[in-house]
Amino acid sequence: MLPNFETQRLILRPRVMADFDACYVMDRDPEVTTYIRGPWHDPAMHRQFLTERLQKSWGDGLGYWSIFEKVQPTRFVGWILLIPTEEMEPQIEIGWRLNRLAWGKGYATEGARVILEHAFQTVKVARIVADIDSRNIPSMRVAEKIGLQFVGDREHDGVSSKYFALTAEEFYKLFP
């Protein structure tokens, strides 16, 4: 079971099937998924994809957290993930997706920072990565604000991305 977290403005709790509809609606917003590959235009495949993601066990201390504002604790604003990825090489990836209503408020940075701390301090991950579409400037800014460092450019299925990483040693230097 994943832990719950609270930040100054947010509540993060493990994502569960009760979050399905809110996640589905968020994914159906084409502005939210502009830079993210997925089955967003095929309702049946999208539902299957989301169900699989919600029900999968990602490993001890790994998974998805739903994000809620403390001032409106029932209002879903997005999620943050910390999951294994094999896309390029075996790694632990951090990522985030927020509803448009939450954009520009610093919520992704605030939430991702606490998940990053969890990854290094509790799960004892050696290295965290993020692979971000080259056009997604706001997500790259979040990666930089939480300490991830640009490693290089990548390409997946014809889509250019920026690859970021942070080791536990670098994390503890940045955030003693």
Tens digit of pLDDT at every position of the chain (176 positions): 899 999 999 999 999 999 999 999 999 999 999 999 899 999 999 999 999 999 999 999 999 999 999 999 999 999 999 999 876 567 899 999 999 999 999 999 999 999 999 999 999 999 999 999 999 999 999 999 999 999 999 987 788 999 999 999 999 999 88
Express each pLDDT in 51-86 by its tens digit.
Answer: 999 999 999 999 999 999 999 999 999 999 999 987
Which pTM does this prediction carry? 0.94
Q: Which tokens go with 15?
A: 């994502």
What is the reported pLDDT for 129? 96
Question: pLDDT at position 89, please?
Answer: 63
- The reported pLDDT for the residue numbered 158 is 85
Please tell me the predicted confidence (pLDDT) of residue 45.
Answer: 96
Q: Are 64 and 1 in contact (CB under 8 A)?
A: no
**Confidence (pLDDT) at 87:** 64
d(Cα 150, Cα 166) in Å, to the nearest integer? 9
What pLDDT is recorded for position 53? 94
Tell me the three-class secondary structure of 113-170, residue by residue.
HHHHHHHHHCCCCCEEEEEEECCCHHHHHHHHHCCCEEEEEEEECCEEEEEEEEEHHH
pLDDT at 1: 81
CB within 8 Å of 173: residues ≥ 6 apart: none
